[in-house]
Structure 1
Amino acid sequence: MSVAKSARGVVELTRPVNAIVAGVLTVTGAFVAIGSDVSGSVGPVLIASLVTILATAAGNTTNDYFDIETDQINNPERPIPRGAVAPSTALGSSIVLFAAAGALALVLPLFATAIALLNIVLLVAYTEIFKGMPGVGNAVVAYLGGSTFLLGGAAVGDIAVPGVLFLLAALATFSREVIKDVEDMEGDEREEITTLPLVIGEKRSLTLSAGFLCLMVVVTPVPYLLGVLEIVYLVLMIPVNGVILYAGYLSFGDPKAGQSVLKYGSFLTAAAFIVGRATMIS
């Protein structure tokens, strides 16, 4: 195995695009928390964003390390199953990334440090402990997905508005994770990994996922009703909610397409928050 091939594989393991997006979402949390005042907190915001990127990259790498056997069935194109990266290299990379994220987290405000360190612990423990617990593993991933916004808010000392965004993101992420479990049922069943669809069935799991998406849609007007975002946010969320509900409907016939559409719906929700916050300060 060449060094260049292995290096490319290590980078691929981190899912760099996903990690960078997570970092951007942390910055988003800071912006919706304090608006233009975020320019006075560039240092903490950038550090919090980098912590998120490193921790997400480490978590993705760790997940692939522990999922070698199931990935040979569900995702054989990933770096370890296809032989681009040795398992020991993946493990070493994840340790370095987690250590860097933890060290940087210590310079953040106390609450932000606590969130970051909790996230690191959950990412380390996820595959070996939580992933095999039906529903619980999905909830852990949902928390982690939404916590990017919380970390950004905590870095600038205000989690009120990011807290609502956290809730919406957590609901969407839980639903998406359940849909992904439905998509991966064959491989999980062969490897005797207990997931929610294997316990309660495919149709009930997708119905539960759709229910969480409906709850998400119900919650979306809250920031406007509380007066923390302008009406443009509410207007933007009308088509976004349509995308979210369509994703839930689509998942019953095509789980892969459903969770893909839902991912875009989540990003559009964050964009609506940004616009709604920006118009308050214009």
Structure 2
Amino acid sequence: MSVSSELHFSRRLPDPRALLTLLKPVTWFPPIWAYLCGVVSSGVPVGSAPWLVVLGMVLAGPVVCGMSQAANDWCDRHVDAINEPDRPIPSGRVPGRWGLWVALAMSALALAMGLALGPWGFGATVFGVAAAWAYSAEPVRLKRSGIWGPGLVGLCYEGLPWFTGAAVLAAGAPSWPVVIIAALYAIGAHGIMTLNDFKALEGDRQTGVNSLPVTLGPERAARVACRVMALPQLGVIALLLGWDRPVHAAAIGVLVIGQIWAMRILLSDPKGRAPWYNGTGVTAYVTGMMIAAFAIRTLGGTG
């Protein structure tokens, strides 16, 4: 018997509030912020094309990220029935195949909007939409891997929007400093995504999702996540010093010290403290992203 037939839905139309919950607005901030980091790092004045900035923010956050959340909830409805049975799909507030239809419709909307951002923006949108489905859907379902899954999400949350914002404003390929800094922050986001997997530990274990908390255990997974978050930022600091940006490097260094303090608290109770760290250490992490973007804006432009 399929999961959808096991879940006894009493509705034919979705609850509008449940649809908004399905799109998880709280997750829209990281890609929007990363897109803005790309805009800043391009070195192109925002006022030269404000509509591209606004369109890119809407595309990166509500549309592409919202679509990815809907796709993930649809493909994970059996896992959510264990971990979070009150989620929109397993609870029946988004009944039948509405979750799938929403994800497909928003995929089409994302591609249509991406066309307005030019070839670089459209190419990035195609990649982002494909990555969202590759992460969640069978037969690929990269979410099953504790390495490839968080890596892909980190890339699409931080690296891809940053690259896109810089490319769209500069109307060409970003310079190597922009690409390298965006890539380092995307790598570090792997650790953030690993911490996010703690909340689904039991359901992942039962359904064969080999997240790092499942395969390594919460304590070892948290230590790995902390190292993955910290080391790329040290690389950013070293690069900024090499590019004669000592003030920006020092500011990011202070933020890293704050994160290390927060990491020590996290490691005292990884599963219980992971949500707390997401509100403290991650805030310092994304603040450093914008500082780095301002640091390299005069090195931006096209390569």
TM-score range, shorter chain: 0.7 to 0.9
Specify the alignment match of 2:24 in structure 1.
15
CA shift at 1:79, angstroms? 1.8
CA shift at 1:118, angstroms? 0.8
Specify the alignment match of 1:68 in structure 2.
77
**Cα distance 1:233–1:2, how it changes in 2: closer, same or farther (>3 A)?**
farther
Tell me the distance in 2 between the aligned counterparts of 1:272 and 1:66.
37
**TM-score, normalization: structure 2?**
0.80
Aligned pairs for 1:192-231 (under 5 A) are: 192-227=208-243, 230-231=245-246
Q: Is residue 142–residue 170 contact of structure 1 (8 Å, CA) maintained in 2?
A: yes
Match of 2:264 among 226, 249, 270: 249
Tell me the distance in 2 between the aligned counterparts of 1:213 and 1:71.
27
Task: Identify the range of structure 1 (240-249 vs 124-133) with the bigger mean alpha-carbon deviation.
Answer: 240-249
Match of 2:144 among 132, 136, 139: 132
Tell me the distance in 2 between the aligned counterparts of 1:159 and 1:268.
22
Match of 1:186 among 198, 202, 215: 202
Matched, 1:261 2:276: no
| Alignment RMSD (CA, Å) | 2.8
Task: Identify the range of structure 1 (75-84 vs 134-143) with the bigger mean alpha-carbon deviation.
Answer: 75-84
Q: Is residue 164–residue 223 contact of structure 1 (8 Å, CA) maintained in 2?
A: no
Specify the alignment match of 1:33 in structure 2.
42
**Cα distance 1:38–1:68, how it changes in 2: closer, same or farther (>3 A)?**
same
Tell me the distance in 2 between the aligned counterparts of 1:217 and 1:52.
23
Match of 1:238 among 253, 266, 272: 253
* Structure possessing the higher relative contact order (Cα contacts under 8 Å, 6 or more residues apart): 2
Q: Is residue 36–residue 57 contact of structure 2 (8 Å, CA) maintained in 1?
A: yes
Task: Identify the range of structure 1 (21-30 vs 91-100) with the bigger mean alpha-carbon deviation.
Answer: 21-30
Matched, 1:144 2:153: no
Matched, 1:92 2:92: no
Task: Identify the range of structure 1 (68-77 vs 1-10) with the bigger mean alpha-carbon deviation.
Answer: 1-10
Tell me the distance in 2 between the aligned counterparts of 1:78 and 1:160.
42
Q: Is residue 150–residue 159 contact of structure 1 (8 Å, CA) maintained in 2?
A: no
Deviations 1:206-256 (A, max 9, x none): 22212212312311314532437x544223213311232234333321333
**Cα distance 1:183–1:112, how it changes in 2: closer, same or farther (>3 A)?**
same
Tell me the distance in 2 between the aligned counterparts of 1:247 and 1:72.
32
Q: Is residue 29–residue 148 contact of structure 1 (8 Å, CA) maintained in 2?
A: yes
Aligned pairs for 1:93-112 (under 5 A) are: 93-112=102-121
Q: Is residue 224–residue 234 contact of structure 1 (8 Å, CA) maintained in 2?
A: yes
Specify the alignment match of 1:114 in structure 2.
123
Q: Is residue 176–residue 262 contact of structure 1 (8 Å, CA) maintained in 2?
A: no
**Cα distance 1:114–1:5, how it changes in 2: closer, same or farther (>3 A)?**
closer
**Cα distance 1:164–1:256, how it changes in 2: closer, same or farther (>3 A)?**
same
Alignment: residue pair count: 278
**Cα distance 1:183–1:10, how it changes in 2: closer, same or farther (>3 A)?**
closer
**Cα distance 1:87–1:239, how it changes in 2: closer, same or farther (>3 A)?**
farther
Amino acid at match of 2:149: G
Q: Is residue 210–residue 249 contact of structure 1 (8 Å, CA) maintained in 2?
A: no
**TM-score, normalization: structure 1?**
0.86
Amino acid at match of 1:272: I
**Cα distance 1:41–1:78, how it changes in 2: closer, same or farther (>3 A)?**
same
**Cα distance 1:5–1:114, how it changes in 2: closer, same or farther (>3 A)?**
closer
Q: Is residue 188–residue 231 contact of structure 2 (8 Å, CA) maintained in 1?
A: no
Amino acid at match of 2:23: T
Unaligned runs of 5+ in 1: none
Q: Is residue 11–residue 92 contact of structure 2 (8 Å, CA) maintained in 1?
A: no
Structure 1 stretches (4+) deviating beyond 4 angstroms? 1-5, 274-280
Tell me the distance in 2 between the aligned counterparts of 1:258 and 1:210.
11
CA shift at 1:51, angstroms? 2.2
Specify the alignment match of 1:55 in structure 2.
64
Q: Is residue 19–residue 94 contact of structure 2 (8 Å, CA) maintained in 1?
A: yes
Q: Is residue 255–residue 288 contact of structure 2 (8 Å, CA) maintained in 1?
A: yes
Deviations 1:246-270 (A, max 9, x none): 3433332133323443321232223
